[in-house]
Structure 1
Amino acid sequence: MSRNAEPERDRHPLFVPLVVAGGLLFGFGLGLSRMARPEVVLDFLQFEDFGLLFVLGTGSLVAGVAFAIGVNFLDSAPLTGRSYARRLKSFDRNVLAGGVVFGVGWGISGICPGAAYASLGIGNYPILLAIAGMFLGAYAQGIWRTYRSENDATAAVNAD
């Protein structure tokens, strides 16, 4: 079992309903702020409309406060009971490359993954092509990562 997997029986009964409610609230917020519209995002990336900056800043502020409170005052995560601590990820070439690919995809399509799903809710069905591209990209990255880990393991065995 992976370290992120948890048995269904350990979850609080409100876990799934609250995740769905949070997703709906997030999607509604993206729709209300017009951030689910690719043209608004592209206007931001072309320095014509800075509304996205305020939406991103407000979301980051709320998340930052919630994480600061959670790490300092809670022993375990709400609803799951799992350890609630900061997970530090090293900054390496994979993080940099992933950020570049994400940024280029965001710039080309004018939409990020979360907003893509919200965009469906406002009737932007051509965004299904971008969503398909996201899935294909994630799948290709998974194949590449598996190939690299197999080659790294083979190289380690041959080095011994």
Structure 2
Amino acid sequence: MRNLFAFLAGGLFGAGLFVSGMTDTTKVQGWLDVFGDWDPTLAFVMGGALIPMAIAWQITRRHVTSVLGTAFPPTPSTEIDRKLITGSILFGIGWGLAGLCPGPSIAAISYGGPGLFVFLAAMIGGMLVAPALRSRMDRAVPAE
């Protein structure tokens, strides 16, 4: 049952990315071009994602398990550290250069063209390198 709900949620998420234009690299890059020909429409997409998530986090605070009986994931950390900053910078560079991030890139596999596959290869490479980079960052400067 859990896999069915995961499949339905993933399909709904992918459809939302497609309908909202998040899989259109020119639309995303237009959103990021604040000092040029800025396209503010993705602000509504982000707001449309943040508002339900804020409500969902409020609901999970009052419940121990989900409707399916599984535990909710822990609330994300609010600590701003080197790992968060490094990850944010790398994510932003990739998003700005390619106009894609992981979710929309998967949703665009069927029609994305050769640039999409370069992005996917770079994304997978980054996922493979990240644990070693994280470990190296942890050893370089001890936590305070």
Instruction: Provide TM-score, normalisation by structure 1.
Output: 0.77
Residues 71, 86 of structure 1: 8 Å contact kept: no
Give the C-alpha shift of residue 133 in structure 1.
Answer: 0.3
Which runs of 5 or more structure 2 residues have no equivalent in the other structure? none
What amino acid is aligned across from residue 81 of structure 1 in structure 2? T
Alpha-carbon RMSD: 2.0
Q: Deviations over 1:75-111 (max 9, x none)?
A: 2233252256524252111111110111011100101
Q: In the aligned structure 2, how far is the partner of 1:33 from the partner of 1:57?
A: 12
Kept in 2, the 8 Å contact 1:36–1:119? The answer is yes
2:26 is aligned with 1:39:
yes
Alignment correspondent of 1:66 = 56
**Counterparts of 1:148 and 1:50, CA distance in 2:** 36
The two structures have a TM-score, normalised by structure 2, of: 0.84
- Is it true that 1:86 corresponds to 2:65 in the alignment? no
Structure 1 distance, partners of 2:124, 2:73, is 30
Q: 2:129 aligns with which of 110, 122, 140?
A: 140
Give percent identity, aligned residues only.
Answer: 26
Q: Tell me the secondary structure at the aligned position of residue 109 of structure 2.
A: helix
Tell me if 1:119 matches 2:104.
no
Moved over 6 A (4+): none
Computing the radius of gyration over CA atoms, which structure comes out larger, 1 or 2?
A: 1
